[in-house]
Structure 1
């Protein structure tokens, strides 16, 4: 199909904008939009919060497994084929969600949503970015990942209104139309390699603050023997435990404190508005100051935010939501930037898939443990205390990484 916009020397930014829209819609639906349905689903199906939130474990764990396969498939079939398949899966699952009558059916649908999640995830984004950008990759990545937060900020109030007007089942059916519209947009704008159009990637070869040289001859086993890889895995896991937990429970957290559905949905919007600012600025900042220092600063902001939510006073919860969102957005982007810059090369898809698997398990565990600890104690205090400790551990590990960073060498 002929491109809607002619492919020129700066077309990489059109690709970046298109991927931003992709993540805004797909992750806005998958990461936060479905959470707005929680109260209605709990009331309709008469299930516990822990039972409902087990779906997140199913989705994120399975999504991580899919991510490893998708990184392999995208290298051979092209990222666009993978993305289109994921959008079909997303629309089908949302349509089916409107007919569920049992929590086991929800688990089955989240197996399908796991594929959709991974097909429109950072693994594919990183592969596309390395084709279109030689410079400014971290800035472009921050803009694209900000799309997740843009969708997470805009969609919850809209979905809450849809549920109020049409009921939660009909609202699901209406949302199932969004992936179809998105697929048409991508068909017109998302292009393959720039070389196919007589172009070259934007900029020249340049190292960013998070980048380390990759020695020739490195094998996958060499990477997995590197302590640096395992430190990044551990940092990602601890950050995603807290990030996944707070995002999954924010709506119910505010509902428990007597806020009406519109204000509870606003808490999600505020988290993702802050995350949008953190994501869109963090890549730019990491290209101008030491990347690990910027990463640690965003983690510290995230730590203050979740601590404020744990204290849970009337004066702390709203600033806590905003600070958490800002810190989480920047930390999320720079975690992915660390992967892209430090481990780029022929194994980027597999390495990023492995890290997404670990992050997915951690985020799902944060969501599930948040529900379980709430059910056991009757409040979110213990759950949020665990999330606070998790971010503190990530900050300490990042400090350790900053002291141990050195170029990877083949063995």
Structure 2
């Protein structure tokens, strides 16, 4: 058993028999290489996943499917990556991240390649849902846990930069997909995405290394975290926000096209969400090192909730851009600060496993949100009722976080102890 470091910067009782790794390994240039690998892995996986809005209309048109049936492709994908999160996090904690990320590369490439050949929409539930879902699950939680384990002083900043890869992937993924679909069609575009995603993720797997401190996951400690009131509030809030979070990625481009925007301009709205989220991820990750992760996490949920009020009133493209900017900022803060909040409340030794457990909430929300919104739009012929419901649910997600500060640990964090 190798040594481990608690949030106070001291070895825990389980590992105190062996010497600690040198502190200079943490926050080192080697550690920042892990941040770069995580950034690129998230750029690739989420760039593909969040470009689905660009594929939505051409796929629905070819298969003659309703919005609810087509959006289920994306919802199943999110469910898969959320459900698999605890397992990929556990495997990365136990076996190391390299084999897990490489598995994700193969799964995602194969899934996208098979999706390019489907002749029935329901096959996409299997090929795209499983393939892309496995790819994201094998990249996100393991890579976030790796970054968290390589840092002490600058952990929140490093995590913010790493998950900013999701934002950059969102910025470029949807517009690139729209341009390729217009020129080559959606099938050839998925074939190209399959090659690119596989190559990029295999490269990240080659670079990534296990953190200096490794502890085999303990089911008892995970169970303690899951039973805590703090985790309960986090989980309930995450379920609620996930119901509405994925709706713009599926429906905002088609909403914009129905209001007169071009194909490229409509797809660009998803990119704008991603661009705004980059500022939220990187800025708030750095600020959390000084101002506190929990308070900023709550603020991110409030900003995200209020953005749906803008979308509710949007009838022009500039208003849609305003919604995308505000929603992206709140969404970026939520994603960037989730790992920091987990590390702050529960420590980093089992971060991959606990974080993966939290992210199962996203699968529940994703299976409810986009299909129900599609059903409402199909039945009413209007987006407004669906957006109003999303606005209300988003406000509930913020309200569920209000009691969270009561459960913050009294002990100082690692950075405070070392500084």
TM-score normalised according to structure 2 size: 0.85
Determine if the alignment matches structure 1 residue 289 to structure 2 residue 308: no
Larger deviation: 216-225 or 326-335? Answer: 216-225
CA deviations 1:219-249 (Å, max 9, x no partner) are 3333232111100111222222221122222
What is the aligned partner in structure 2 of residue 117 from structure 1? 136
How far did residue 125 of structure 1 move?
A: 2.2
> How many equivalent residue pairs?
382
What is the aligned partner in structure 1 of residue 378 from structure 2? 375
Distance 1:286 1:152 in 2: 23
Distance 2:136 2:205 in 1: 19
What is the aligned partner in structure 2 of residue 205 from structure 1? none
CA deviations 1:111-155 (Å, max 9, x no partner) are 23221121011x212321233112211111111111011011012
How far did residue 346 of structure 1 move?
A: 4.7
What is the aligned partner in structure 2 of residue 304 from structure 1? 306
Distance 2:336 2:30 in 1: 22
Distance 1:46 1:163 in 2: 18
Residue aligned with 1:176, SS = helix
Distance 1:183 1:113 in 2: 12
What is the aligned partner in structure 2 of residue 93 from structure 1? 111
What is the aligned partner in structure 2 of residue 34 from structure 1? 52
CA deviations 1:190-247 (Å, max 9, x no partner) are 2334489xxxxxxxxxxxxxxxxxxx99733332321111001112222222211222
Determine if the alignment matches structure 1 residue 385 to structure 2 residue 388: yes
Distance 2:91 2:150 in 1: 19
CA deviations 1:274-306 (Å, max 9, x no partner) are 111111111111111133322232222222221
What is the aligned partner in structure 2 of residue 207 from structure 1? none
How far did residue 184 of structure 1 move?
A: 4.7
CA contact (8 A) 1:87 1:116 kept: yes
CA contact (8 A) 1:251 1:268 kept: yes
CA contact (8 A) 2:27 2:151 kept: no
Distance 1:252 1:340 in 2: 38
In structure 2, relative to structure 1, the CA distance for the partners of 1:313 and 1:135 (3 Å cut) is: same
Name stretches of at least 5 consecutive residues in structure 1 with no aligned partner. 1-6, 197-215
What is the aligned partner in structure 2 of residue 343 from structure 1? 346
Residue aligned with 2:400, SS = helix
Determine if the alignment matches structure 1 residue 55 to structure 2 residue 73: yes
1:235-246 aligned within 5 A: 235-246=237-248
Match of 1:186 among 194, 200, 204: 204
Distance 2:165 2:338 in 1: 16
Determine if the alignment matches structure 1 residue 320 to structure 2 residue 323: yes
What is the aligned partner in structure 2 of residue 25 from structure 1? 44
Larger deviation: 39-48 or 303-312? Answer: 303-312
Distance 1:190 1:221 in 2: 28
Larger deviation: 296-305 or 270-279? Answer: 296-305
1:137-152 aligned within 5 A: 137-152=155-170
CA contact (8 A) 2:82 2:137 kept: yes
In structure 2, relative to structure 1, the CA distance for the partners of 1:170 and 1:126 (3 Å cut) is: closer
Distance 2:102 2:118 in 1: 25
How far did residue 10 of structure 1 move?
A: 1.8
